[in-house]
Amino acid sequence: MSAPTTIVPGLFGADPLEYGQAVADVAAAGAELLHLDVMDGVFVPDISFGLKAVASIRKSFAGRLDAHLQVARPEVYVEGLAGAGVDLVTVHVEGTPHIGRVLRELERSGVAAGLALNPGTPLSAVEEVAHLVEQVVVMAVNPGTSDFLPYTVDKIRRLRTELDARGLDHIRIAADGGVTAERAAELRAAGADRLVVASALFRDPAGVAAALRSLATAAAGTR
């Protein structure tokens, strides 16, 4: 696997009273991609970033924005998120019976697409449409919880093998949930070349920039 490891800050892991500073910190640290968990209180219990918040973050962050839709009926969010300036929208296959339609709408809106899988959702759920996306996100926790599920490591490994066998080695695999420096190398070795890090990043007493460096070093196996 040739793609370098990208540590992706998950803004939802920051203190809500400090979101503005958190965005400034990851921007100053040179983060390439910022992960925004858009939650509707239905698909998961929490409610998070709405369109106004996303548009505001867009003004403060020059890198790419990935809106991770943890929502029911993701199709109703596509137009608004495109208008808010996101670069990538990741959609849970469990959130809609019409995943192909949502991916088509994203293509028409000029926004890159991703697919997300809950821990209990089989890889076959993305088989028919994986070639249409930039990334597949494998949830390593059940959405709305924080308990890391070790069996998802093998799921990542099997997904990488399947994508590579189909000539889809350009598709990035992101591990999301419970990602720490201690788990980074294992997830990378399994095939995850994007590691979404939330609490472990923003709660590190060393600060965001140092935490990003530490996570990247750990993922490379040189920690």
Element (H, E) at 181: helix 181-190
Mean pLDDT, the chain, integer = 95
pTM, entire model: 0.95
Give pLDDT tens digits for 51-109: 999 999 999 999 999 999 999 999 999 999 999 999 999 999 999 999 999 999 999 99
123 three-state secondary structure:
helix
Domain edges within the chain: 6-219
Pairwise CA distance, residues 71 & 29, whole Å: 30
List, in order, residues 6 or more apart from 133 with CB less than 8 Å away.
103, 112, 113, 114, 115, 171
- 37 catalytic? Reply is yes
Pairwise CA distance, residues 111 & 92, whole Å: 16
Q: The tokens 């979404």 sit on which residue?
A: 196
Could you give the percent of the chain with pLDDT greater than 90?
A: 95
Pick the catalytic residue: 87, 176, 193, 204?
A: 176
Assigned superfamily of 6-219: Aldolase class I (3.20.20.70)
CB of 181 closer than 8 Å to CB of 214: yes
CB of 191 closer than 8 Å to CB of 160: yes
List, in order, residues 6 or more apart from 76 with CB less than 8 Å away.
none
Q: What pLDDT band is residue 4 in, cutting at 50, 70 and 90? A: confident
- 25 catalytic? Reply is no
Which DSSP symbol is given to 191? Answer: T
Pairwise CA distance, residues 17 & 147, whole Å: 24
Pick the catalytic residue: 37, 40, 66, 87?
A: 37
